[in-house]
Amino acid sequence: MKPFQRVCCFKSLLANCCCHGQLHSCLLPPAAKKIGCAAGLHNGGFWKPKSLLNTARFTLSFNSRHRKNHQDSRALWKHEAVQKYLETLSKEYQQVSHLLNADSVNDFEQRTLRRRCADLSPIAAAFQEIKEAEKEVQELEAMCKELDSRDEKQLLELALEEKETLDKKINVMCRKLFQLLVPKEKYDKSHVILEVTAGRTTGGDICQQFTKEMFEMYQNYADYKCWTFDIVSYMPAEIGGLHHAAAHISGDDVYRHLKYEGGTHRVQRIPETGLSSRMQRIHTGTMSVIVLPQPEEVDVKVDPKDLRIDTFRAKGAGGQHVNRTDSAVRIVHLPTGLAVECQQERSQLLNKDIALRTLRAKLYQRIIEKQLSQEQSARKLQLGTRAQSERIRTYNFTQDRVTDHRISYDARNIKEILNGKEALDKLINRLLEFAEMEAVTEYLESLQAAEGGGC
């Protein structure tokens, strides 16, 4: 992005105004100080890179303290520790660039430096762009004060509009900068296995109906994002709802967008049919969503001796093969007791292959959870697990409101969200933005704690 140029237009306009000389001189910012390379870079050894943020350590929590302190990227940008951290990365980028031009490094060091330079280059560029834009805003603020004192209403109005435009652009740039600071997680590009299961209810059959609506919502969302949505298993309820279903979703950044959907979803509504007038009141029900990153073949090795494979007849609507052939497959992993089923395909071999992929995904998820629990045993994890003790979202039909409890965010128009298009995408992006801000916040807190402990 090129530096903002419109401030020069205001200065040229002011050149035609009386008494502009004093104003013009007071608006010129001081020259930027050049950041020299730190002395003793080698110190007898090769340069070592400073670590960037590692999002494997950060998960979306229910801590409201972070939401109060850092509600948006612009507020977090102004944090002193953020400025210090970015200055450090910017200085390191200059050091790496200087070393790349030196003749004293060997081929191995050149490759290492190039990789590090590629990581730091967009961060340093974004940091510099925001700093330059903020200088332009400061100039405009000083200009507005002078114009207001001289009652130059037309120029003042133009300057205020330009300042508002710059502020919006800075907000966008701050968000992009923090997206650069928080690198992609290991599993963000993975395909996923998504499972939905109906929960318990205080009355009626709203859980099964809500589970069906949620499954269709994610199916529509996959279509909206141009993903592939393959149903693995489908167990309908007797009255038209859904007990349990699973699907394999593939496409670009599927796990990144769906990883925070895992958990307990609560519904509050008045059942439309099937109840007496005495039961026509608000009922509360739940359903759970599980989102598992789909591992590659080499990620999880399953010994065939540890598997018990059963076949049975498929159930539900589907065609002539239903209840006629033993095409459905159930696989039990004996060491862990995990069981998966697949009855979607007509071929028993295809169902077996899909069930094995699902089993690998569940075993892989156990490995992920174990690693994360070792690193953050004191925190509540919400990374595509059941988390039955925590409701992550409430769908209140009587108030036409969806509340995500993790970020205290309310969205209206439930039908639009359940439609699985733009409204759901907006909610998911709010979650991603909050997770990025929390990752940066937690890193800064740990950094400050380390510095405090060293004093």
> Which residue, among 137, 239, 237, 225, has the nearest Cα to 197 in the 3D structure?
237
- Looking at residue 298, what is its pLDDT? 43
Instruction: Give the pLDDT of residue 203.
Output: 52
Long-range Cβ contacts of 46-51 (<8 Å, 24+ apart) = 46/109, 47/95, 47/96, 47/99, 47/109, 47/113, 49/92, 49/112, 49/116, 50/88, 50/89, 50/92
Strands 328-333, 307-312: pairing kind: antiparallel
Residue 281 has what DSSP assignment?
Answer: S
- Hey, what are 426's tokens? 């907006």
Q: Is-above-0.85 flag for pTM?
A: no
14's tokens: 């002011």
R_g of the chain, CA atoms, integer Å: 28
State residue 200's pLDDT score: 67
Helix (H) / strand (E) containing 381: none
What is the pLDDT, as a whole number, of residue 312? 82
Residue 196 bridge partners (DSSP): 245, 289
Encoded amino acid at 110, one letter: Q
Burial class (CB in 10 A: 0-12, 13-18, 19+), 436: buried
Instruction: Give how far the C-alpha of residue 286 lies from the chain's centroid of Cα atoms, to the nearest Å.
Output: 24
Which of the residues in the chain have pLDDT under 70? 1-72, 183, 200-204, 272-280, 295-299, 315-325, 371-390, 447-448, 451-455
Q: Could you tell me how far CA 430 lies from the centroid of its own chain?
A: 8
Please report the pLDDT score of residue 390 as a whole number.
65
Instruction: State the first-to-last Cα distance of the chain, in angstroms, to the nearest integer.
Output: 41
The alpha carbon of 107 is separated from its chain's Cα centroid by a whole number of angstroms, namely 37
Sheet containing 228-236: give its strands across.
228-236, 242-250, 192-201, 283-293, 263-269, 391-396, 401-404, 409-412
CA distances from 94 to 88, 103, 110, 111, 141 (A): 10, 16, 15, 17, 31
Q: Check residue 296 and give its pLDDT.
A: 59
